[in-house]
Structure 1
Amino acid sequence: MEPTAHSQQEASTPSSTETAEDLALKLNAAVRDSNIKEVLKLLEEGADVNSKAESGWTPLQSAVQADEEELVRLLLGKGACPHARKDNGGTAFTEAAIVGNVNILELLLDCGLNINDHDDNGFTAFMEAAWYGNAEALKFLYSRGANVNLRREVSEEKAKLHKGGATALMDACREGHFSAVKLLVQEMGANLNIRDNKDRNALIHALKEGCCAKERYESAVSIGHFLLDCGVDVNGRDECGKTSLILAVEMRSPDLVRALLEKGEIDINDADEEGNTALMVAVEKNYYDIAKLLCEKGARTDVGELIAVANRNRAHNMARLLRQYNARFIPKTLNDWEPNSKRWRDQLKKLYKTYRPMIGKLKTFQYIQQRIQNTSQGGIYLGLHGGTEVAVKISCSTEGDKEKRFFEQCGNCEHLMKLFQFEKAKSYMYLCFPLWEKNLEEHLQEPEDQMDYKDVLRMIFQAVRELHSLGFAHQDLHPSDFFIDLGGKIYLADFDNKRKLIEGKKDLVNSDLEALSRLVLYVLTGGRKSLQQVSAEDLPADSPDYKEALDLVSSLVSHDERGLEGLSKHPYFWSKQTRFKFLKSIWNKIKDLPNRKAVFQASNATESFPYPWWTKEIDKDILNIMENPPEGKSFKYRNNVIDLLRIIRNLDEHPNIRISRRIGDHAEYFLKLFPALTIYVYNSLRQNPKYSHFADIQDPSL
């Protein structure tokens, strides 16, 4: 007998005694028990196939976790959503990679999933497969287009804490899956030297875990040797500043220590954030064989409290070894020192107190906690050169020589970053610059410590002019390229080496002008929007400089023929008093002309007089007094720009006590009442070839 429609409806809805939540809990429990019969029964009773249990697990995800392929197919057939996410953003697909079942991965991928999709912590299915050492899953995902070198993508908040950025190779190294590491490198071309957001590469991940977990010692050693044979960078560090050599010492692996030293690329005397060298660590842990190897290879014995530590450990053999290599018990005191920098004070004091191998007269630490700026070519680090606080950029010698020559050209420029000193060591160039407090982007995010925007833009304009005068266009003007020292002075730098020789190429200069227009908007809006998003619509219309700012931005965008030299004298930069004096002066220049109207009738003028009824806007009593002076002839002012300039000049040149009491400062009154007048008069004159010289005015404050 066929079921009726009524009986079908009853079967598909929960009974009065069982809620949808009850059925959901039962369904998830049945899935976790791999009870297909019970799963089918509950689905027939109306359980939601996409219901979620604790932490957001769906039945499909639970079936995948249980590695129940048949159950996965069943749930998909019943409408289970393969895109559903757990509370941590994970999907059935990432769960399948953890399990390593290729059939389930293929089944889910065929449902239209993005192979590089990730959870809230940035883990993709490929990364999960690497983390758990699932070689077959790795091969399958790679064959279907998984990105081998994808870095873990995390939220902005987590990135600020230096979380994320790891790759599948780092995961395999960390978890000690040697076969997966070889597969990733040899067959899939995994990049050995990508660094995560804590600046660690694959070698550091492998060695660090080998230090922490004894059961992974052998795999860590094997992975370490393999990566070294493949050419991994040996100069990486962990989040505590420990080098690969120090980590190998902590693992107590003489073979790895020897292999690292034989590469000839590592500084045996380099130290971590606490100032501990590899030899200090070996002595502290009483690893005699490693300490002996390090001493034989030339490790310094005149730094640290080596003898004191050996004596404290009652390690008499270690103390004798150290004395053989000229270690001495010398109590050392360090004078207190106070940096000039306020922002970098704590990091500089730590650098000052911590042992670091000197590079000529330079003491620096290429370590994330000492990094003050990121560039596309690496970081900028704090340093002390002969006791002077500096910012240090490290480059290979060839590239460093080119940068040095460029920065030396900036020596006579007032607002370009200058080279303070430099050092060379091995194949590296250490360029030292006067230390700054903040870059412009950082400064604008702190409204309690604002500079005058006009002063900021004056210095920015001069910096770009100076760069152009050296024959270079910057090509990547960004707030982070402008640095502010303790005195508030701004300097432009090009640490990303994107500058290009102008050599008559006007388009390169124009490109800088357009970038400068965006920078003007960014500064004038206080950095509230990103450089890419900010527009003229974001300018505050109630600003006394609103019209001048709009005109300045427009002039930059249109590649105005005045260029930066001329635009640096733009009315935006004029003081209030200079603007008023300018307006007053025009009447004196035109009053004796036979045809005054011609002055404001340039053929290419684009704007009409903004105050065609100005006599109705001005204070009526003031207008009456000026039109009917106590002494002299009456005069009727008309609604044109010439008469407006005339009344401004007459009022200021022949002050009236009644008017002054009524309006106060004349400049303040007229500029506030007619804010668009200055730029209108200026542009009208400038665009009139016959009278353009009337617009030439020099603000003493420039």
Structure 2
Amino acid sequence: MEPRAPSQQETSTPSSMEKAEVLARKLNTAVRDSNVEYVLELLKEGADVNSKVESGWTPLQSAVQADNEELVRLLLDRGACPRARKDNGGTAFIEAAMVGNVSILKLLLDYGLDINDHDDNGFTAFMEAAWYGKEEALEFLYSKGADVNLRRAVSEENEKLHKGGETALMDACRKGHLSVVKTLVQEMGANVNICDNKDRNALIHVLREGCAKKRYESAVSIARFLLDPGGIDVNSKDECGKTPLILAVEMQSADLVEALLEKGEIDIDDADEEGNTALMVAVEKDDYDIAKLLCEKGARTDVGNLIAVANRNRAHNMARLLRQYHARVPETFEDWEPNSKRWRDQLKKLYQTYRPMIGKLKTFQYIQQRIQNTSQGGIYLGLYGGTEVAVRICHSTEGDKEKMFFEKCGNCEHLLKHFQFEKARGYMYLCFPLWEKNLEEHLQEAEDPVDYKVALKMIFQAVRELHSLGFAHQDLHPSNFLIDLGGKIYLADFDNKRALIEGKKELVNSDVEALGRLVLYVLTRGRKPLQQVSTEDLAADSPDYNEALDLVISLGAHDDRGLEGLSKHPYFWSIQTRFKFLKSIWNKIKDLPNQKAIFQAPNVTQSSPYPSWTEEVDQGVLKIMTKPKKGKYYKYKDDVTDLLRFIRNMDEHPDTRITKKIGDHAEYFLRLFPALTIYVYNSLRQQPKYSHFVDIQDTSL
């Protein structure tokens, strides 16, 4: 049967959905036109008060944007949802801050909204009020508890791209609202040194915007305000490595350049990622007055081909000035290849770019040269006398304390120790041997199989070494274990969370428990975050499953063996060592009068995992061993002692018929009885009379 064609009436009559969409568009338009009568009429016709149009705008949000308090009240009375979000996550409350209407903000806040709620781009109402210069709204929001120093929250993906992290102060600086900036700093205590995810502070934000002509005057005023009281970091950099001094030169503001130079802590010869210093920028822009000021203040003239740039600009006065201050042709760099594979490109860039030397150290404290974030600041690449290093920068007083600690680590094999240090302008530059990756990165990025036992051996030793120095780490996170080019692991403490043990056993216990979680994290290759991993994530079919599970349980139980004893746990034994251990136990107990009672003692907490082992073993092998070619007939029983006797006899009296059947004896038995080693080990260890039987040295690692 052919399908029936729709009638003319059916095709011309709009659906209920289409009617609703038409009403929604009309309602939103009426709200934006502030046509109250038409709004009421449309609501009477059935228009949805919470309907959305393009980009997710609701009538309430449109009423707020129109700055119409009457309509806002009307829509709320008719059931408009104050929490509704646009497609970008924005709400009516955030919109009200942009408009600056305090009455509407008060009205919406009475509905129990979170004053620090943000849209999908991380903007809060407080930030929007600062961005648009709505000072009255800003003061109201502050009085109601808005977080002045909240940083813009962004998605994890954007954070990896270094987006977000801006504050309301940065927003006010960027938009040139001097009055708002003063209010934020003087009345609300805004922190001028907070940095966004590109390491830019408020001063950097205002100077970057000042390069545009329409922002020039406000930028100069705001920058002078931020500089006047002191305390702001004048050596901060933008994402291109430009300092406030370089940005002020780009603005061609001699006043700001002079104000910055008056700050004693400024480095006049600092350079951006292209190696351009403030003087080089001044020469490029042919700004004679600023160039003269910089030369008078001691700027280096032997970096960058300054004379050539001045000649290209036909700037004869500039060229004469530069010659007066001994400008000359710069040095050239020989080709150089770093040892590091991961940091190769950044190191070559650092090598080839001009940087003012700090003693024997060349480093660049900006985002593209940063290799790790810590709560105490970033870790940066460096070259110390040509050696590749990682550099931590701290105030001299703090640096002296850190240096003393790292000197204590000098004889430790797996604790990070400092290589060299430099001091300059009240800062200490601690240099460490450069690493390739941290443990977290290594596990998640490794293409080849990871040797977990070797890695965990080094991790255990690192923690033991730290405890032997009298410190508990308190932050055994995978990112704190660093791996060099040769695969050696070192424990670091850049967040300075370590604490003196001084008899506080709970600190040691806390580290040992954390080590148990770390073992799980390593054995599961970092597939889950450290705090979420559990014993359920261990691969039950792994040949080391039983030993690994027991090791983790022992670490969590504050085992009396301590890290020293647990470092010799059967998990770390090779297959051959485990098999040798099982064989040796029979030799040690065979002449004891109550050998079978050893594994049935009251303090043996587990029963035999193989109560019917004679049925599980290869029956042909069992038959050969029951009646060997030479020797007397012996029938093996289903107990642990006879299983150990069976293992020992079969290996000590080799038979080619058996080898052909099962292959390597160690691999066969440990595959067939994977829980036997740890069962025998724990059964003996729990009995003081026999605990010494488990002392075995594995030389395979």
Q: Same fold (TM over 0.5)?
A: yes
Deviation at 1:449, TM superposition (A): 3.8
Deviation at 1:599, TM superposition (A): 2.6
Whether 1:190 and 2:194 are equivalent positions in the alignment is no
User: CA, structure 1 residues 331+558, in 2 after alignment: closer, same or farther (shift >3 Å)?
Assistant: closer
Distance in 1 (alpha carbons) for counterparts of 2:588 and 2:645: 11
> In structure 1, the residue corresponding to 2:632 is in which secondary structure?
coil
Distance in 2 (alpha carbons) for counterparts of 1:173 and 1:449: 50
> In structure 1, the residue corresponding to 2:389 is in which secondary structure?
strand
Aligned to 2:585: 586
Distance in 2 (alpha carbons) for counterparts of 1:57 and 1:604: 71
Distance in 2 (alpha carbons) for counterparts of 1:271 and 1:242: 7
Whether 1:463 and 2:462 are equivalent positions in the alignment is yes
TM-score of the aligned structures, taking structure 2 as reference length: 0.97
Distance in 1 (alpha carbons) for counterparts of 2:18 and 2:628: 96
Cα deviation 1:299-355 (Å, max 9, x = unaligned) = 111111111111111111111111111112x26432111111010011001000000
State the one-letter code of the partner of 1:324: Q
Aligned to 2:75: 75
Aligned to 1:111: 111
Judge which range, 574-583 or 530-539, deviates more: 530-539
> In structure 2, the residue corresponding to 1:380 is in which secondary structure?
strand
Judge which range, 22-31 or 128-137, deviates more: 22-31
* Structure 1: tracts of 5 or more residues without a match: 1-13
Deviation at 1:413, TM superposition (A): 1.2
Distance in 2 (alpha carbons) for counterparts of 1:675 and 1:239: 55
Deviation at 1:500, TM superposition (A): 1.5
Whether 1:23 and 2:23 are equivalent positions in the alignment is yes
Kept in 2: contact 1:102–1:137 (CA 8 A): yes
Kept in 1: contact 2:304–2:330 (CA 8 A): no
Cα deviation 1:342-394 (Å, max 9, x = unaligned) = 10011001000000000000000000110001111001000000011000001
Cα deviation 1:172-216 (Å, max 9, x = unaligned) = 0111000000011111111111100000111111111111x2111
> In structure 2, the residue corresponding to 1:445 is in which secondary structure?
helix
Aligned to 1:135: 135
Aligned to 2:41: 41
Distance in 2 (alpha carbons) for counterparts of 1:312 and 1:17: 69
Aligned to 1:386: 385
> In structure 2, the residue corresponding to 1:552 is in which secondary structure?
helix
> In structure 2, the residue corresponding to 1:483 is in which secondary structure?
strand
Judge which range, 629-638 or 118-127, deviates more: 629-638
State the one-letter code of the partner of 1:552: L
Kept in 1: contact 2:473–2:511 (CA 8 A): yes
Whether 1:236 and 2:236 are equivalent positions in the alignment is yes
TM-score of the aligned structures, taking structure 1 as reference length: 0.96
Aligned to 2:604: 605
Whether 1:225 and 2:216 are equivalent positions in the alignment is no
Deviation at 1:658, TM superposition (A): 1.4
Percentage identity across aligned positions?
82
Whether 1:596 and 2:595 are equivalent positions in the alignment is yes
Aligned to 1:254: 254
Whether 1:206 and 2:202 are equivalent positions in the alignment is no
Kept in 1: contact 2:518–2:530 (CA 8 A): yes
Aligned length: 687
> In structure 2, the residue corresponding to 1:424 is in which secondary structure?
strand
Deviation at 1:602, TM superposition (A): 4.2
User: CA, structure 1 residues 67+621, in 2 after alignment: closer, same or farther (shift >3 Å)?
Assistant: same
Judge which range, 401-410 or 624-633, deviates more: 624-633
Distance in 2 (alpha carbons) for counterparts of 1:498 and 1:608: 43
Aligned to 2:332: 333
Deviation at 1:450, TM superposition (A): 4.0
Distance in 1 (alpha carbons) for counterparts of 2:263 and 2:349: 30
> In structure 2, the residue corresponding to 1:436 is in which secondary structure?
coil
State the one-letter code of the partner of 2:396: S
Aligned to 2:6: none
State the one-letter code of the partner of 1:164: G
> In structure 1, the residue corresponding to 2:381 is in which secondary structure?
strand
> In structure 2, the residue corresponding to 1:448 is in which secondary structure?
coil
> In structure 1, the residue corresponding to 2:447 is in which secondary structure?
helix
Deviation at 1:601, TM superposition (A): 3.8
Deviation at 1:597, TM superposition (A): 2.2
Aligned to 1:678: 677
Aligned to 2:147: 147
Judge which range, 120-129 or 627-636, deviates more: 627-636
Kept in 1: contact 2:303–2:330 (CA 8 A): no
Kept in 1: contact 2:581–2:696 (CA 8 A): yes
Deviation at 1:78, TM superposition (A): 1.1
Kept in 2: contact 1:602–1:687 (CA 8 A): no
Aligned to 2:314: 314
State the one-letter code of the partner of 1:574: W
State the one-letter code of the partner of 1:239: E
> In structure 2, the residue corresponding to 1:507 is in which secondary structure?
helix
User: Cα RMSD (Å) of the superposition?
Assistant: 1.2
Alignment of 1:317-396 (within 5 A): 317-328=317-328, 330=329, 332-396=331-395
State the one-letter code of the partner of 1:316: H
Aligned to 1:498: 497
Cα deviation 1:99-125 (Å, max 9, x = unaligned) = 001011111111121100000000000
> In structure 1, the residue corresponding to 2:279 is in which secondary structure?
helix
Deviation at 1:598, TM superposition (A): 3.4
Aligned to 1:164: 164
Cα deviation 1:114-170 (Å, max 9, x = unaligned) = 100000000000000000010000011011111111000000000000000010011
Aligned to 1:660: 659
User: CA, structure 1 residues 376+16, in 2 after alignment: closer, same or farther (shift >3 Å)?
Assistant: closer
Kept in 2: contact 1:210–1:216 (CA 8 A): yes
Aligned to 2:54: 54
Distance in 2 (alpha carbons) for counterparts of 1:16 and 1:467: 72
Aligned to 2:122: 122
Distance in 1 (alpha carbons) for counterparts of 2:201 and 2:485: 36
State the one-letter code of the partner of 2:535: A
Aligned to 2:293: 293
Whether 1:414 and 2:395 are equivalent positions in the alignment is no
Aligned to 2:10: none
Q: Which consecutive aligned stretches of 4+ in structure 1 deviate over 3 angstroms post-superposition?
A: 14-18
State the one-letter code of the partner of 2:57: W
Distance in 2 (alpha carbons) for counterparts of 1:418 and 1:146: 44
State the one-letter code of the partner of 1:39: V
> In structure 1, the residue corresponding to 2:459 is in which secondary structure?
helix
Kept in 2: contact 1:283–1:310 (CA 8 A): yes
Aligned to 2:693: 694
Distance in 1 (alpha carbons) for counterparts of 2:105 and 2:499: 49
Kept in 2: contact 1:600–1:688 (CA 8 A): no
Aligned to 1:508: 507
Kept in 1: contact 2:265–2:425 (CA 8 A): no
Deviation at 1:510, TM superposition (A): 1.1
Aligned to 2:7: none
Deviation at 1:234, TM superposition (A): 1.0
* Structure 2: tracts of 5 or more residues without a match: 1-13
State the one-letter code of the partner of 1:611: Y
Deviation at 1:23, TM superposition (A): 0.9
